[in-house]
Structure 1
């Protein structure tokens, strides 16, 4: 079914199309998020939403033994070369590509089958339910890169975990595991990495047994796009400033020179 370069879409033939899986697939950079991947992801989500017979559930996962390493370094570098206005507009567009997953009218499960960092982790938070890999490493590392959290994370983390724990993950950029995610109630389940996708599909099949119209109504009523939109506007403005700061240029230099960044607050 897939027709994309960085996205794979698969229908589960054993469930008569009731389960559709969307995989991030950028093998050259641990499924990092590029502009092209974003466009393809949004198109895949639109196509699923327009199916004559909607699936009962959708799974979002990653190929290449990882979920998503976050924003592609070359894409981030390009933001540092643009103006505040260009970045502000560009960030809102980039967010919309991946957060389109919230537009799906059916339950969406994230099979977080490996590491998920920054904006990549936000995709999992934007899904309805999550299954994490026990040994996976997860982090909202934005502030450690010299930028404000983005991709809706400043809204999604407190929405799911509360302001105390959600704020802690955003302020610290600390790394947590799939077992942590399960203990916090963030993950429905956690399993060894090799089992995550299969276990998620089992849950999707279980959910597919419920009344589809009731699930679709629930999906429509469960979330507030208005609140998320306000957060995205603030994130875009903050990241637009941060990307042209001296601190973010220091981040880029530190990656090339393979050393910790030294921030000066400018």
Structure 2
């Protein structure tokens, strides 16, 4: 069986590719969660990584939950508490790990991002869509709810009204509507998707890595904390940043009118 999550590194940029195209890259009923957790641990341990791209092989980004795995859960063979534990020790570990990864993550959405597949894209910091991409928070169509954090993630990205519309109807929207709603940053031609994502990752990776990581942490904390608390955190982060070699290099390069060279 082919490896589910391909890990490829080009300099400071890691690309993670969901690699089960025949089944449209599902996130359950396979090793997806374990593979993501292992990849995230590897990225945390490798300080040379400055940006991550997540994409899908084939025509889909991710179809979300595997329908055969849902059949197993609904068969009556499992008790409710057992299913609850499967979620807590399975797919629910993914949003906690990916959302809190210090390195910026770009979702290059090449095709359908459905159910948990849409939620996976929402766990990333930036979303770029191919013109062929489509999105659905489709859990209600199967008589279930967003079990992997979508009810928390989606309203924070597109607002309560639009998130409710997607969640209550389960209907599909296209790439252009996703851009209009702020779900994705931009829509590009299918053949340009990965080049665009890599170019953006390169621009992120060109900055001092400590500043990027701490900026991401501040943005994440700002989504659920008070202003005065965030300012205290910002003061602490800034005191660390002012003492780094990359900050001194940035100031010197600005004053000397030259390009900076950052080492991390």
Of structures 1 and 2, the larger Rg is shown by 2
For residue 27 of structure 1, report the CA deviation from its aligned partner: 2.7
For residue 210 of structure 1, report the CA deviation from its aligned partner: 1.9
Superposed, which structure 2 residues align to 1:137-148 within 5 Å?
A: 137-148=134-145
For residue 113 of structure 1, report the CA deviation from its aligned partner: 0.8
> Given the alignment of the two structures, is residue 128 of structure 1 paired with residue 125 of structure 2, yes or no?
yes
Residue number among 148, 152, 176 corresponding to 1:151 in the alignment: 148
Aligned pair count reads 219
Give the Cα–Cα distance (whole angstroms) in 1 for the partners of residues 198 and 56 of structure 2: 14
> Given the alignment of the two structures, is residue 67 of structure 1 paired with residue 61 of structure 2, yes or no?
yes
Name 2:9's counterpart in structure 1.
Answer: 11
Q: SS at 1:70's partner residue?
A: coil
Superposed, which structure 2 residues align to 1:1-80 within 5 Å?
A: 5-12=3-10, 17-34=11-28, 35-51=30-46, 53-80=47-74
For residue 95 of structure 1, report the CA deviation from its aligned partner: 2.6
Cα distance per residue 1:159-204 (max 9 Å; x no partner): 1111111111111111111111111222111112232122111111
Superposed, which structure 2 residues align to 1:168-183 within 5 Å?
A: 168-183=165-180
Name 1:214's counterpart in structure 2.
Answer: 211
User: CA separation of 1:41/1:104 partners in 2, compared to 1, >3 Å: closer, same or farther?
Assistant: same
Name 1:93's counterpart in structure 2.
Answer: 89
For residue 224 of structure 1, report the CA deviation from its aligned partner: 4.7
User: CA separation of 1:125/1:196 partners in 2, compared to 1, >3 Å: closer, same or farther?
Assistant: same
Give the Cα–Cα distance (whole angstroms) in 1 for the partners of residues 92 and 141 of structure 2: 24
Q: SS at 1:67's partner residue?
A: strand
Q: Which runs of 5+ in 2 are unaligned?
A: 225-264
Name 1:111's counterpart in structure 2.
Answer: 108
Higher relative contact order (CA 8 A, sep 6+): 1
Give the Cα–Cα distance (whole angstroms) in 2 for the partners of residues 46 and 139 of structure 1: 29
The two structures, once aligned, show a CA RMSD in angstroms of 1.8
Q: SS at 1:223's partner residue?
A: helix
Q: SS at 2:7's partner residue?
A: strand
Give the Cα–Cα distance (whole angstroms) in 1 for the partners of residues 207 and 195 of structure 2: 20
Residues 110 and 132 in structure 2, CA contact (< 8 A), matched pair in contact too: no
Residues 7 and 39 in structure 2, CA contact (< 8 A), matched pair in contact too: yes
Give the Cα–Cα distance (whole angstroms) in 2 for the partners of residues 98 and 195 of structure 1: 28
Residues 92 and 149 in structure 2, CA contact (< 8 A), matched pair in contact too: no
User: CA separation of 1:161/1:64 partners in 2, compared to 1, >3 Å: closer, same or farther?
Assistant: same
Name 2:159's counterpart in structure 1.
Answer: 162
Give the Cα–Cα distance (whole angstroms) in 1 for the partners of residues 15 and 107 of structure 2: 10
TM-score (norm: length of structure 1): 0.78
